[in-house]
């Protein structure tokens, strides 16, 4: 059976981001990313610091670990990374989860296509704004969005852009106008991904959230959007595995 590079498995927790925010879920975080965003809060998946924690696991191993942590108390699994879309053989895990009647959510940045995108119940595509210092390949993103637009209507897709500054906001508007039929989320960027001072972190994040909401309220172009915090950071700060 084919193996997958897994950096961490955790939960049950709540999905802190995007279209299913608040959803009780388990997490599977894969290793490796084709990007290196300047503010990545999961850089241990790609900068070498998480190498010793990465285990090669097959789908059954992952399922056993999920059951060990969550028992019968979950029906939803979120796959994130790194970029899980680097893994062609991730379909082995997605198929097994489906067999077990588990809903599958997946987070990716929209830089790579995989055919198993069609099988994800809640697919979040999160193209990266200028502050990340990554460059969006809009040809690739166009192709991905065009393909998933024809997904079975019980499967959902959304776009989520993280915002740190005015330039990011302009980028988000461009993405919004380019894909007008895809549910669109703006997410507050966390500028301090290392602090352990949660009170100060939350104060800063709340200010940033208000700043972003004020911009959207005043904006006559961004009408059908949802503005969200990264909820888990308001609860648990920069802690890993929550
Ligand atoms: C760690 S990434 C992994 C999945 C995939 N590589 C991606 O970027 O979509 C998961 C989500 O966290 C967001 N994220 C990463 N660092 C962040 C930060 N400092 N503040 C807010 N969101 C962040 C990403 O934009 C993405 O939407
Ligand atoms: N609770 C919680 N929600 C999340 N939503 C997206 C996450 C991610 O790192 O991809 C994440 C995470 O790490 N924790
Ligand atoms: S694409 Fe996602 S995992 Fe990769 S560096 Fe950017 S935020 Fe981090
Ligand atoms: Mg995270």
The pLDDT value recorded for residue 80 is 99
Task: Say how far apart CA 141 and CA 96 lie, in whole Å.
Answer: 28
The pLDDT value recorded for residue 123 is 98
The pLDDT value recorded for residue 152 is 87
**230 CB within 6 A, ligand 1:** yes
User: Ligand 2 centroid to 218 CA: how many Å?
Assistant: 29
pLDDT along the chain (242 residues), means of 10: 95 98 98 98 98 97 98 98 98 98 98 98 98 98 95 93 98 98 98 97 98 98 98 97 96
The pLDDT value recorded for residue 200 is 98
User: Is 29 marked as a binding-site residue?
Assistant: yes
Residues within 6 Å of ligand 2 by CB: 13-17, 42, 80, 107, 232, 242
The pLDDT value recorded for residue 150 is 84
The pLDDT value recorded for residue 149 is 87
The pLDDT value recorded for residue 56 is 98
User: Ligand 1 centroid to 190 CA: how many Å?
Assistant: 10
Task: Say how far apart CA 145 and CA 218 lie, in whole Å.
Answer: 28
Report angle CA 74, 78, 82 to the nearest 5 degrees. 150
User: Is 229 marked as a binding-site residue?
Assistant: no
User: Is 43 marked as a binding-site residue?
Assistant: no
The pLDDT value recorded for residue 153 is 87
Predicted ipTM of the assembly = 0.99
Cβ neighbors of 182 (< 8 A, separation 6 or more) are: 145, 149, 157, 158, 159
């Amino acid at each position: 059976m084919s193996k997958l590079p897994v950096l961490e498995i955790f939960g049950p927790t709540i999905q802190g981001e995007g279209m299913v925010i608040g959803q009780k879920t388990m997490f599977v975080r894969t290793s490796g990313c084709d990007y290196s965003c300047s503010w990545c809060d999961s850089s241990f998946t790609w900068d070498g610091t998480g190498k010793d924690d990465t285990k090669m696991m097959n789908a059954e191993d992952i399922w056993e670990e999920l059951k060990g942590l969550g028992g019968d108390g979950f029906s939803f699994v979120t796959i994130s990374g790194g970029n899980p879309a680097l893994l062609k053989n991730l379909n082995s895990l997605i198929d097994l989860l489906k067999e077990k009647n588990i809903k599958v959510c997946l987070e990716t940045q929209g830089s790579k296509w995989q055919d198993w995108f069609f099988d994800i119940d809640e697919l979040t595509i999160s193209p990266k704004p200028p502050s990340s210092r990554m460059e969006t390949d809009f040809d690739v993103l166009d192709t991905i969005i065009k393909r998933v637009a024809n997904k079975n209507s019980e499967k959902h897709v959304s776009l989520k852009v993280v915002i740190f500054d005015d330039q990011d906001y302009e980028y988000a508007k461009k993405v919004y106008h380019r894909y007008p039929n895809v549910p669109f989320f703006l997410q507050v960027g966390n500028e301090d991904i290392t602090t352990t001072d949660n009170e100060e972190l939350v104060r800063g994040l709340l200010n940033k959230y208000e700043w972003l909401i004020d911009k959207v309220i005043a904006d006559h172009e961004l009408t059908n959007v949802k503005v969200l915090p990264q909820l888990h950071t308001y609860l648990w700060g920069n802690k890993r595995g929550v």
